Amino acid sequence: MTGPLEDITVVEIANWVAAPSASALMADMGALVIKVEPPTGDSMRNKLRQPRYPDGYAGTDVVFQLDNRGKRSIALDVGDERGADIVRRLVADADVLITNFTRTRLDRYGLGPEQLHELNPGLVYGLVTGQGSTGSDADQLAFDVTAFFGRGGVTGLLGEPDGLPVQPRPGQGDHTTGLALLSAVLGALRVRDRTGEGQLVETALMRVGTWTVGVDMAATLVDRRQPTKRSRKHPISPMNTLYRCADGVWIVLSAHDQATWPALCAALGLGELVEDPRFATAAERFANAQELVGIFDRLFASAPYGTWAEKLRGRPIIFAKVAELPDVIEDPQAAEMQMFVEIEHPALGRFETLAAPFSFGRSEVVVRGRAPEIGEHTAEVLAGRLGMDEDEIVALARVGVVAGPGILG
């Protein structure tokens, strides 16, 4: 099988996570991805030299590997006109550009969409920003914790009433935004296949954050009211909350309709509650939620998760274990869906990483190699794609415009 993007060339001028994650998935689908990074490397490489997690990793580089696997790296200074010209020459023969630079910076370097579409009218230009590319905050820098979670309204919906806001985990908003960018780029490639015309496609951390809470936002757009936070003990329905089992594992129930109520009571051995006037209807269960949660709390605390899973499985009741990450790795369904894949690295050896979060029935989506070292392919790309000879490459390296192992001996 071949990858669905085997004939696509992508030039990436991006750092951190959101934009690189989109092009990493394109590499998994077979695209040639040329990663343009400064001679000091993608900022994410430098971030990973810091002790982000006190408990550490067996090699912090595995995080960078996730969003940069299968790419080729050229190191050059795009702030130098000679470096920017190299990017323009690469883009002239590419299908897609992926970037997360601000529009002001891109225009200053001569790498804005209008400028590059003059060189390559068929180029799909994929842009990720924090808060959009127009307006007073277009150039305001952002991470997912600020634009996706904070300004996008996500954090404001999380946590217990009157409690501290929930601290987001790293990269959640970035990876979600990367998927949004990927879907937009693929749509634009489809248009180009029909018309021959490329175009600018944009997404923003803030925009995607708000999209992810669209169920709440759809109502707020109508009544302009902030949704009410509800604690675990005061849910809209006691059938839609979490309970702690005897072994400390939490189980989450998600039962919505009236028909599920008798099935849940039967499974839990609480048949007497089906006709109990306090709980007989959804409205009554809501009105008496605290009392019913107390009954369920005591019940679930009397046996381990496995006991309850066995009782609930096979019935019309939606439930799941609140898994910790090591649990997810060992989950048989994760193996069934091939969620993880091994990768070979000269320094880290063989280690597991995440596969793409989708698959094709007749096309290949695979991790096609480790992430590159800084400028690992500079000489190869400049010579092979742009026809530059060794003397030209060495001359540019001597003045700091390009960099890469072995160029200067």
Class at the top of the CATH hierarchy for domain 242-323: alpha beta
Mapped onto helix, strand or coil, the DSSP state of residue 9 is: strand
Alpha carbon distance 176, 222 (integer Å):
26
One-letter amino acid at 228 equals T
Element (H, E) at 211: helix 205-212
pLDDT at 23: 98
pLDDT at 46: 62
Domain extents in the chain: 9-214+337-403, 242-323
pTM for this model (two decimals): 0.91
pLDDT at 230: 83
Cα distances (Å, whole numbers) of residue 120 to 69, 93, 123: 27, 7, 6
Class at the top of the CATH hierarchy for domain 9-214+337-403: alpha beta
pLDDT at 297: 95
Mapped onto helix, strand or coil, the DSSP state of residue 392 is: helix
Q: Which two tokens stand for residue 392?
A: 């030209």
One-letter amino acid at 290 equals Q
pLDDT at 220: 94
Closest CA to 174 of 78, 66, 75: 66
pLDDT at 54: 43
Q: What is the CA radius of gyration of the chain?
A: 26
Alpha carbon distance 46, 49 (integer Å):
5
Q: Which two tokens stand for residue 205?
A: 């951390």
pLDDT at 58: 44
Q: Which two tokens stand for residue 371?
A: 């992430």
Residues 6+ apart with CB under 8 A from 138: 102, 103, 104, 129, 131, 132
For the chain (409 residues), the mean pLDDT of every run of 10, in chain order, is 93 96 98 96 70 47 90 96 97 97 95 97 97 92 93 91 86 96 98 97 97 94 91 84 96 86 92 92 90 95 96 92 94 95 84 92 93 95 95 95 91
